[in-house]
Structure 1
Amino acid sequence: MLAGLQNVTFDFGARTIVRDATWHIHPNDRIGLIGYNGTGKSTLLKLFVGEYQPSAGTVERSRNTSIGYLHQDLLSFDTSESILEVAMHAFDKAKQIEKELAQITDALAKNETDELLMQYSEKLHEFEEAGGYTIEHQTEEVLQGLGFNNSDLKRPYREFSGGWRMRVLLAKMILQQPDLLLMDEPTNHLDLPSIEWLEKYLQHYKGAVVIVSHDKYFLNRMVKKIVELYQKELHFYTGNYEYYETEKQQRIELQQRAFENQQEYIRQQERFIERFKAKASKAAQAQSIVKRLDRLERIEDVEIERPDIRINFPVDKVPGKVLVDLKGVSKRYSENVILQNATAEIERGDKIALIGANGKGKSTLLRIIDGSEPIEGERKWGHNIEEAFYAQHQLESLTLTHTILEEMKSAGSQKTEQELRNLLGCFLFGGDDIDKKIKVLSGGEKARVALAKTIISKANFLLLDEPTNHLDIHSTELLIDALKRYEGSLVLVSHDRYFVSKTANKIWEIKDHEIKEFKGTYEEWVAWNERMAKNGAQGAEPKAKSQVQKEKETPQVITPQPVVNTAPNVPINKEAKKELQKQQRLFQKLEEDIAALNAQKSQLEAKLGSPEAYADKNIFADTEKQYKSVLAKLTELNTTYEQVFEKLMELEGQ
């Protein structure tokens, strides 16, 4: 065991964060620590590193365990050193040995003795063990992986913004290679290429890693265990975040059924007691039942800390078919060319995700679409457009003297105060929070207020720049649900791949100073790129709109249909065609079987939820047995479904 909590209770003032918690972290563990915002996830990490001491119980740390802790408070660090020098502090031990080697070398030049030669040999070995010969190369490699250019490495650390500073500190921490790495929202300041690089790095990391993150996609790929801080207790799940969601729902359903079953049993017993307590022949039996009920270990009702409140985007007007038309657009900042003669079109119903590395001009393109960024070329606005733009600079438009509730009322949505309170609850403002003045809010809190105002604006066209940055997983899910039901069009920038995959039906990427459009979801775009790379067609990327117009063709993309036409039209042999048709029939049969099982599952759930099921324990046991059997079959069929789908992809690619 590297570290752990043993029966730990921690009180923060009058508030209990965790009660009687036991948690052991072992070598090579990959753990996701989750919980609603404000429940105390970061506080738990601080217990491990000794910043806080428990109110009761013990925090255990192996004497030789080294711990690295990445957190937002590190941004207070400042220095005039270059970012390369800051990151290379990870190798301070090697650099100290290097100084000692230099001193021994000087001494040997004056007087060569066996003792000095022995010291030199030992220090040289220590230097090699500490990676002394490769420290600069390793540091450059990690910094470049996190998005820095070679020209950045010698620039002073203090010249960089908070997000880039955090990357430098992340580089330093992973170069130190601690036995236990505690990471609090590590993807917050990373773009997509950097997140993907970090994932690959951590997958081969030799130490244990505990991650606090609101990025479900990142958690699904990185962790093998979930620890949930919920209602002041730790709950453990052996699997990734997707497994946790399924397992937690089943636990809640089972607990709810067990609670309802027990409540029905208690009511029956209490009715017996009430009816026969005064009857002499039954009094002893009634008293026995009273004692039995007193000894009964009560099952608690399921409590939901954060209810699922629907967020609605009202739309007043229907726009024309084309919302924005960009023709021959060029944009540059000095020598930095963002767009060159680029062409693109946004149509009614489009939900576009702008993706790519930082510095490629995603936020600039949003402002070009908005009309607030000067350009060369033509930007044509469509008919009947009501636009709302959410971005960091929109925070400046908030009225500092307003309370949060007053600011929401000023948006003119005509919503009632209770509706506004419910909406603000989705964005992590509960109770008396809504009476806080805007001027006392943190940057993240102001961002959430601005996002909430965007949502109630009745706009039919939304521009969203990193909308999930200050939301927890639950709030992000509510926003995803709202955007799925939103009847307007939108363009968004986000590094949260799960959010993008659930909201976008088109992908835009700025590449070679043009806007490359892909008609499909993020997952389809990733699969398409992987297939192109696998087939040795890395250059065959989705074409820009301007190229489409010139060549009168578009790349075909993966769709969720059984028959997928993503490859060029080349003849396939008869055997391959026969196998393809066989897989298509199997795919269709699996879809039908899964639909039938889902219908059966719904019927059994309804049966389990009825009081009649609890009246006869044999009926309940039989129904529950059927329910578990259906779940097992569904799991098996879904696995086969995925395998057949992959086979279809492979056959279509031939």
Structure 2
Amino acid sequence: MIILQAKALAQRFGAAEIFSGIEVKLHAKERVGLVGPNGCGKTTLLQILAGLQTPTAGEVSRAQGLTLGYLQQEAALAFSGQDNTIFAEMLSVFAGLRQMEAELRRMEALMEAGEADEALFGEYGRIQSTYEMGGGYQYQHEIKRVLQGLGFAPEVWQTPLTQLSGGQKTRVLLGRLLLEAPDLLILDEPTNHLDVTAVEWLERTLRAWNGTLLIVSHDRYFLDRIASHIWELSATRLRRYKGNYTTYRQQRQLEWEREEALFQAEKARLENELAFI
């Protein structure tokens, strides 16, 4: 199933054309690594696909109801004006569950006071079932798992976001996105501010990811362990390869060798023709 598609994308900044004629088809459950030379427009393409930039030409269509999360390279301004702590920011992902939690506590107080009727017991059972199915009894554990996985020790969980460095804010944003679990998660250099232990934890988490991933990373070993497909971006096209980064390199090498052989054959043909003139 195609969840995101783009046709004839082009982007220009002033007189500089970044790319043109780019075609994209992203299928559900794919884990895609986007590669290409520096300056080819990888971040620009991610932002267009995420709806954060408008292309000079072309269009992007997304599946109805698709949820999307985007991690930018540097998230220093991501929490501008917010006074949440690290843990409170993670809790905000589960606002709906927390509202149900508060309603359940209110009903329990009425029950304990002997003020409950049959209708209240029925409503309590309905809300409790929804709460349980939505992960109400696990979300606090999940928050702690994600924070520790990303290198936040328990003693810093109550630190205000305003006191964090840019790199720490980027990690907080990554944690929130992982907890939100969108259908499509777009990550631009997700390992930039992670130590080795956190990178290994993130690899395990993304390998088990139930949604679709689109990742730009300079860490080729990371892409090797995560990607099921590689997209290679150039100024005029997007090539698609099935497999991880190593498989992509092998396929690309074979293509280069075939192209070189064709070039040499054409060169020899032209030289032979010139020799008869």
Shorter-chain TM-score bucket reads 0.7 to 0.9
Q: Percent of aligned positions with the same letter in both sequences?
A: 36
2:46 corresponds to: 45
1:327 corresponds to: none
Amino acid at match of 2:208: H
1:266 Cα deviation from its structure 2 partner: 4.4
1:59 Cα deviation from its structure 2 partner: 0.9
1:92 corresponds to: 95
1:227 corresponds to: 231
Amino acid at match of 2:241: Y
Q: Counterparts of 2:15 and 2:91 in 1: how far apart (Å)?
A: 42
1:145 Cα deviation from its structure 2 partner: 1.2
Q: Is the CA contact (8 Å cut-off) linking 1:75 and 1:166 kept in structure 2?
A: yes
Q: Aligned ranges for residues 531-550 of structure 1 at < 5 Å? A: none
- The yes-or-no answer on 1:61 pairing with 2:62 is yes
Q: Counterparts of 1:97 and 1:16 in 2: how far apart (Å)?
A: 51
Q: Counterparts of 1:91 and 1:189 in 2: how far apart (Å)?
A: 25
Q: Counterparts of 2:114 and 2:60 in 1: how far apart (Å)?
A: 52
1:133 Cα deviation from its structure 2 partner: 1.8
Q: Counterparts of 1:58 and 1:161 in 2: how far apart (Å)?
A: 36
Give the TM-score, by structure 1 length: 0.39
Amino acid at match of 1:260: Q
1:206 corresponds to: 210
1:75 corresponds to: 76
Q: Deviations over 1:466-485 (max 9, x none)?
A: xxxxxxxxxxxxxxxxxxxx
**Structure 2 gap ranges (5+):** none
Q: 1:118 to 1:2 in 2, by over 3 A?
A: farther
Q: 1:6 to 1:119 in 2, by over 3 A?
A: farther
Q: Counterparts of 2:15 and 2:115 in 1: how far apart (Å)?
A: 68
2:126 corresponds to: 122
- Which of these residues, 251, 255, 266, is aligned with residue 251 of structure 1? 255
Q: Deviations over 1:361-393 (max 9, x none)?
A: xxxxxxxxxxxxxxxxxxxxxxxxxxxxxxxxx
Q: Deviations over 1:128-184 (max 9, x none)?
A: 222122221110111111112121222222223222222221111101111111110
Q: Aligned ranges for residues 241-320 of structure 1 at < 5 Å? A: 241-266=245-270, 268=272
Q: Aligned ranges for residues 565-604 of structure 1 at < 5 Å? A: none
Q: Deviations over 1:398-430 (max 9, x none)?
A: xxxxxxxxxxxxxxxxxxxxxxxxxxxxxxxxx
- The yes-or-no answer on 1:189 pairing with 2:190 is no
Q: Is the CA contact (8 Å cut-off) linking 1:87 and 1:169 kept in structure 2?
A: no
Give the 3-state SS of the residue equivalent to 1:39 in structure 2.
Answer: coil
Amino acid at match of 2:98: K
Q: Counterparts of 1:168 and 1:3 in 2: how far apart (Å)?
A: 27
Structure of larger gyration radius: 1
Q: Counterparts of 2:121 and 2:21 in 1: how far apart (Å)?
A: 57
Q: Deviations over 1:578-603 (max 9, x none)?
A: xxxxxxxxxxxxxxxxxxxxxxxxxx
Q: Is the CA contact (8 Å cut-off) linking 2:75 and 2:166 kept in structure 1?
A: no
Q: Aligned ranges for residues 140-155 of structure 1 at < 5 Å? A: 140-155=144-159
- Which of these residues, 178, 182, 187, is aligned with residue 178 of structure 1? 182
Give the 3-state SS of the residue equivalent to 2:158 in structure 1.
Answer: coil
1:245 Cα deviation from its structure 2 partner: 2.1
Q: Counterparts of 2:259 and 2:251 in 1: how far apart (Å)?
A: 12
Which segment drifts farther, 119-128 or 178-187?
Answer: 119-128
Amino acid at match of 1:95: R
Q: Counterparts of 1:131 and 1:47 in 2: how far apart (Å)?
A: 33
1:123 Cα deviation from its structure 2 partner: 2.4
Q: 1:150 to 1:265 in 2, by over 3 A?
A: same
1:240 corresponds to: 244
Q: Counterparts of 1:204 and 1:149 in 2: how far apart (Å)?
A: 23
1:85 Cα deviation from its structure 2 partner: 1.0
1:285 corresponds to: none
Q: Is the CA contact (8 Å cut-off) linking 1:16 and 1:232 kept in structure 2?
A: no
Q: Is the CA contact (8 Å cut-off) linking 1:237 and 1:244 kept in structure 2?
A: yes
Q: 1:131 to 1:39 in 2, by over 3 A?
A: same
1:307 corresponds to: none
| Count of residues in correspondence between the two structures | 273
Q: Counterparts of 2:222 and 2:74 in 1: how far apart (Å)?
A: 22
Give the 3-state SS of the residue equivalent to 2:49 in structure 1.
Answer: helix
Q: Is the CA contact (8 Å cut-off) linking 2:74 and 2:167 kept in structure 1?
A: no
Give the TM-score, by structure 2 length: 0.87
Of structures 1 and 2, the one scoring higher in RCO (CA 8 A, sep 6+) is 2
Q: 1:117 to 1:72 in 2, by over 3 A?
A: same
Give the 3-state SS of the residue equivalent to 1:7 in structure 2.
Answer: strand
Q: 1:262 to 1:144 in 2, by over 3 A?
A: same
